Structure 1
Amino acid sequence: MARPAVIAHRGYAGIAPENTVAAATRAAQREETAMIEIDVQPAACGTPVVVHDERLEGTRDGRPLTDATGVVWEAPLEELRETRVLGTEATVPTLAELLAAIPETVGINVELKNPGRADLRVGDALPPEVRAERREVWQPFVERVVADCDAFGGELLFSSFCEGAIAALRSVGDYAAAPLLSDDVAAGLEIARRYDCEAIHPPRSAIAGTDAVEASGNGGSDENRDVLEAAHDEGRTVNVWTATNWVQFDELAAAGVDGIIADYPGLSRA
């Protein structure tokens, strides 16, 4: 049986300052890395920058995410590019800068995190009457992201927790897309079907046969038990988030997932 593809979560956030050029270039140097997952949001001017949290003063294990404060999309680009990440010399990069540093032999999973506003519809399968409005919310930012990504010659996969982002991507061009699934797995599958997405990205707790499913109580849901089979029956790749140790990786590999988004390198070789 083929081992799942390894997707470096924020550039292997367990060993490097997440979503930075330094993390991404180190991840790309590892033979096991098939793809690097990154998060994008706009700076105040609309330029896509690579950062996960909406606010710059978040924390990771008690350490400040950056040495700045405030909302990402309200921050001037010049200030963001000088903002240091997790107490290191690495700074918040633009999407274009990060892509320029990555060899095209490694794929990039671009998570469309936020278009620059707080009123997101996260994890919802939207009713018909609001789909066009939500697509328009995301469209300008998605167009900026795609324009930056078009210069990258490697494999690209766009993902998001927001249906509006997937809808905007489909209106911009023919790019591989994946809804990120959270608590409502059925909603994620509905979005994947509505936009004929190439992949889905469920959490570990949605994959039957793993400890995560039992701990979450999701084992009682028919939809959760069948998410892997349903996606494969429909021809979709299943990339699961997030493995933090080799036991989790092995469980997911045994379940038959196609890719595993991992915080650490080396989990696939245990």
Structure 2
Amino acid sequence: MVTRIALTGLASAVSVVSLTLTGPVGAAPALPSGLRPLEGRTRPLEWGTGPLTVAALPRVTYVAHRGGAREVPENSMTGLVAAYERGTSQVLDFDTRLLRDGTPVVFHDETLNRTTYLGGEVRGLDAREWQGVRLRPKDALPGSWRSERPPTVEEVLDRFGGRIVLMLEAKDPRSLGRLAGMIRARGLTRSVFVNSNDPEVARRVHRLGLLTQLWRSARQLRTDRPERWRSYVDLLDVDHRARDADLVRAVKSGIRRVWAHTVVTDAQRDRVLALGCDGVITDAPGRLARAARRGTRQGTQRGARP
């Protein structure tokens, strides 16, 4: 059952008017000032003879978690476009769930309540009903954002696939076959990490020929033995709040990539990198990038000859 969340007060009513998506259903959402739209499904020039893959990632990788949820509306097409255009991360992360008819969509929660103007379970809708869902941008976000329909996974793969490495969390393991088909059909098996918290789901992802990402909480890492997963996990996604010893054990597990989530401060980033992690999953990629640039400039100035 889907319910509509009532808004109270004149200010809320004005917000609804200002956030209404203009144009036909499914039209590309308007972008913040200074951002240009991507070019649909045309083959990007940067592909060369093939799509951008994980082989192109830098030694230390930055991931825009849900597009950068402290800077853009999470799991929105506009937010993902903004993160891509700003160039402050090399990977775009988003969450996926299944609708009633099996359509994979980009959404984090089981219910619509927290991030949209509706209430009820995501799995209670079909693709036609999904067209009527509108995201509710947080007031605390910087800038001005319009409401828009959450995208489908297919739309995100078509817009970004091959242009940048993607990371999607399969919230519903039943979606793995459908997701694998979409990824393979677009030639993106080396360009998309498929994420889960369950080692057995990660094993299934590996058997499907996809890049496997396994995330673990600080509590789980206390008793985990990550070396057991190195034959089928391409990326171990660790909680930055874990103990130093647990993070070091993950780094030394033999798994090629160990990235830490969900980092929002310079101190958190610096700690996980010092312990050997080679990637940062962050809600604030723009802020961390600005801080990194400031640190580089200051270091250069300190090292300059008088």
Q: Under a length normalisation based on structure 1, what TM-score does the superposition of the two structures give? A: 0.74
* Unpaired runs of at least 5, structure 1: 59-64, 116-137, 209-224
Superposition pairs of residues 213-228 of structure 1, within 5 angstroms = 225-228=245-248
Superposition pairs of residues 240-255 of structure 1, within 5 angstroms = 240-255=260-275
CA 1:186/1:177 → structure 2, altered by over 3 Å: closer, same or farther? farther
Any idea what the Cα deviations from partners look like across 1:47-101, whole Å, max 9, x if unmatched?
110000001102xxxxxx1011111112122222331112442211110111212
Which of 180, 185, 192 is the matching residue for 1:146? 180
Please report how far the alpha carbon of residue 161 of structure 1 lies from its aligned counterpart in structure 2 after TM superposition: 1.1
1:261 aligns with 2:261: no
CA 1:43/1:174 → structure 2, altered by over 3 Å: closer, same or farther? same
> Secondary structure of 1:17's partner?
coil
- Alignment correspondent of 2:213: 178
- Alignment correspondent of 1:73: 123
Which of 175, 192, 202 is the matching residue for 1:166? 202
Please report how far the alpha carbon of residue 12 of structure 1 lies from its aligned counterpart in structure 2 after TM superposition: 0.7
Higher-Rg structure is: 2
CA 1:82/1:245 → structure 2, altered by over 3 Å: closer, same or farther? farther
> Aligned partner of 1:37: which letter?
D
Q: Which runs of 4+ in 1 moved over 6 A?
A: none
2: CA distance between counterparts of 1:45 and 1:247? Answer: 44
- Alignment correspondent of 2:303: none
1: CA distance between counterparts of 2:76 and 2:227? Answer: 30
CA 1:192/1:165 → structure 2, altered by over 3 Å: closer, same or farther? same
> Aligned partner of 1:180: which letter?
W
Aligned residue pairs, count: 222
Give me the CA root mean square deviation. Answer: 2.3
CA 1:69/1:3 → structure 2, altered by over 3 Å: closer, same or farther? same
CA 1:247/1:261 → structure 2, altered by over 3 Å: closer, same or farther? same
Which of 71, 74, 85 is the matching residue for 1:29? 85
* Unpaired runs of at least 5, structure 2: 1-57, 138-145, 292-306
Please report how far the alpha carbon of residue 189 of structure 1 lies from its aligned counterpart in structure 2 after TM superposition: 3.9
2: CA distance between counterparts of 1:44 and 1:245? Answer: 38
CA 1:110/1:35 → structure 2, altered by over 3 Å: closer, same or farther? same
Q: Under a length normalisation based on structure 2, what TM-score does the superposition of the two structures give? A: 0.66
CA 1:103/1:196 → structure 2, altered by over 3 Å: closer, same or farther? closer
CA 1:206/1:23 → structure 2, altered by over 3 Å: closer, same or farther? same
> Aligned partner of 1:174: which letter?
G
1: CA distance between counterparts of 2:255 and 2:230? Answer: 14
- Equivalent residues of 2:251, 2:276 under 8 A apart: no
- Alignment correspondent of 2:98: 42
> Secondary structure of 2:123's partner?
helix
2: CA distance between counterparts of 1:195 and 1:79? Answer: 41
Please report how far the alpha carbon of residue 195 of structure 1 lies from its aligned counterpart in structure 2 after TM superposition: 5.4
CA 1:257/1:66 → structure 2, altered by over 3 Å: closer, same or farther? same
Please report how far the alpha carbon of residue 30 of structure 1 lies from its aligned counterpart in structure 2 after TM superposition: 2.4
Any idea what the Cα deviations from partners look like across 1:192-211, whole Å, max 9, x if unmatched?
62752112111111252xxx
Any idea what the Cα deviations from partners look like across 1:19-39, whole Å, max 9, x if unmatched?
111111111112231101110
- Alignment correspondent of 1:85: 135
Which of 16, 20, 33 is the matching residue for 2:72? 16
Instruction: Give aligned-pair identity as a percent.
Output: 25
> Secondary structure of 2:216's partner?
coil
1: CA distance between counterparts of 2:170 and 2:227? Answer: 15
> Secondary structure of 2:117's partner?
coil
2: CA distance between counterparts of 1:200 and 1:192? Answer: 12
- Equivalent residues of 1:7, 1:33 under 8 A apart: yes
